[in-house]
Amino acid sequence: MAETVGFIGLGIMGKPMARHLANAGYDVVIHTLNRETISTFTAESNKFIAASTPKDVAERAKTVITMLPDSPQVREVALGENGLIEAMGEGSLHIDMSTIAPATAIEVSTALAGVGAHALDAPVSGGEAGAVNAALSIMVGGAESDVERAMPLFEKMGKTIVHVGASGAGQVVKACNQVMVAVNYAAMSEALILGAKAGVDPEKILQVLGGGLANSRVMELKGQNAISGKFAPGFRVDLHRKDLNIAMNAGKTTGVPLPVTALVQQFFEALTVAGRGDLDHSSLITIYEDLAHYRIGQDLEA
Ligand code: NAD
């Protein structure tokens, strides 16, 4: 009989991740806020089974993955009314793959342990392309035996899977990841606006910088977005802004000043204030364009 797994949160990332599990032969019990998405999935394959609440998912699946926007949604789905905790017990495993505060990951894991269930924090990097190509990097916090149990699932969705420490450690590493990505975007944006306003074709800047030490995954995957003014998400500005807040809080509680991150965080705040929170995070370049009174791409497009 096919193994059953629960999946809650079918957004940009959750959709392809859940599809990989179904394609690998799992029966996938699904729940998300958008009813139309549920209907699309159940019409697409009989491997998808609709559930009405997180509790309903946990009643039908011993292992439940969540891929939700932020800490409040994970807390609500795991611990709220009709949450996972109402149906989880001995032998249950919650794998949260969302990006949330490390403290919330520990809170959820501790609460679930109170009913005999286990939890992993397993946030991901690699973006929508990584999710679609089952090539995500997955940074996992929790007990070794739970990581071993979850590994066959992780291998269907990701390529680089590293057990980084105890509960909460996965989210700490994801905060490190988001710091590096945001600062990379800022560096690329700053360089491109300098070259383009000085009169150089930005395509040529990308081409030649791509062959030297300045090259980065950010430039390879999102350089074209940055210079074209086409910013369909991808990864929404509002989600990256949330992640930088998580990183700044982690810096505060750990006693680590993050001065460069603090500056870039303010640029993300400015994007949201400018009404660009739903654009892809490559739209960070538009703040530099505003500052330089110079636009490389065409009008902003979502
Ligand atoms: P998204 O907004 O596209 O999807 C979130 C999904 O959660 C939606 O389908 C929504 O219906 C569902 N949801 C929200 N509240 C819910 C609730 N209470 N009950 C059930 N379902 C609920 O977001 P996304 O881009 O897929 O990102 C998901 C997580 O992954 C976020 O934490 C994000 O930071 C992280 N992440 C995203 C990317 C990316 O490139 N998009 C990359 C790495 C990590």
Token representation of residue 236: 């929404």
Among 129, 151, 166, identify where a domain stops: 166
Residue 244 has pLDDT above 70, yes or no: yes
Q: Does one domain contain both 96 and 197?
A: no
For ligand 1, whether the C-beta of 105 sits within 6 Å is: no
For ligand 1, whether the C-beta of 69 sits within 6 Å is: yes
For ligand 1, whether the C-beta of 12 sits within 6 Å is: yes
- Which pairing describes strands 27-31 and 48-50: parallel, antiparallel, or unpaired? parallel
CA–centroid distance, 192 to ligand 1, in Å, is 30
Average pLDDT over the chain, rounded to an integer: 96
Task: Give the bridge partners for 27, in sequence order.
Answer: 4
Residue 299 has pLDDT above 60, yes or no: no
Helix (H/G/I), strand (E/B), else coil: 226: helix
Q: Does one domain contain both 66 and 189?
A: no
Q: Does one domain contain both 158 and 55?
A: yes
Q: Does one domain contain both 157 and 181?
A: no
Please report, rounded to a whole number, the percentage of residues in the chain having pLDDT higher than 70: 98
Q: Looking at ligand 1, which residue's alpha carbon is closest to its atom 5?
A: 11
CA–centroid distance, 12 to ligand 1, in Å, is 7
Q: Does one domain contain both 139 and 247?
A: no
Q: Looking at ligand 1, which residue's alpha carbon is closest to its atom 1?
A: 11
Helix (H/G/I), strand (E/B), else coil: 79: helix
Provide the domain count of the chain.
Answer: 2
For ligand 1, whether the C-beta of 157 sits within 6 Å is: no
The closest alpha carbon to 301, from 273, 280, 270, 274, belongs to 280
Q: Does one domain contain both 119 and 10?
A: yes
Instruction: Work out the pLDDT band at 302, boundaries 50, 70, 90.
Output: low
Q: Which long-range contacts (CB under 8 A, 24 or more apart) does 17-24 make?
A: 17/65, 17/67, 17/97, 17/131, 17/136, 17/157, 18/48, 20/134, 20/156, 20/157, 21/153, 21/156, 21/157, 22/47, 22/48, 24/156
Q: Looking at ligand 1, which residue's alpha carbon is closest to its atom 7?
A: 9
126: left (phi over 0), alpha (psi -120 to 50) or beta: left
Q: Does one domain contain both 51 and 124?
A: yes
Q: Which atom of ligand 1 is nearest to the CA of 97?
A: 30
Q: Which residues are catalytic?
A: 174
- Domain range for 294 is 172-299
Instruction: Work out the pLDDT band at 267, boundaries 50, 70, 90.
Output: very high
CA–centroid distance, 246 to ligand 1, in Å, is 16
Q: How far apart are CA 81 and CA 84, in angstroms?
A: 9
For ligand 1, whether the C-beta of 218 sits within 6 Å is: no
Tens of pLDDT, residue by residue over 11-31, are 999 999 999 999 999 999 999
CATH value at residue 59: 3.40.50.720
Instruction: Work out the pLDDT band at 2, boundaries 50, 70, 90.
Output: confident
Residue 301 has pLDDT above 60, yes or no: no
Among 147, 166, 185, identify where a domain stops: 166
Pocket test for ligand 1, best of 67, 70, 76, 278 (most atoms within 8 A of CB): 67
Q: Which atom of ligand 1 is nearest to the CA of 240?
A: 34
CATH value at residue 198: 1.10.1040.10
Among 145, 166, 187, identify where a domain stops: 166
Give me the pLDDT at residue 300, please.
Answer: 55
Q: Does one domain contain both 53 and 84?
A: yes
CA–centroid distance, 243 to ligand 1, in Å, is 13
221: left (phi over 0), alpha (psi -120 to 50) or beta: alpha
Q: Does one domain contain both 152 and 262?
A: no
Q: Does one domain contain both 99 and 158?
A: yes
Q: Does one domain contain both 41 and 107?
A: yes
Q: Does one domain contain both 196 and 152?
A: no
Q: Compute the radius of gyration of the chain from its Cα atoms.
A: 20
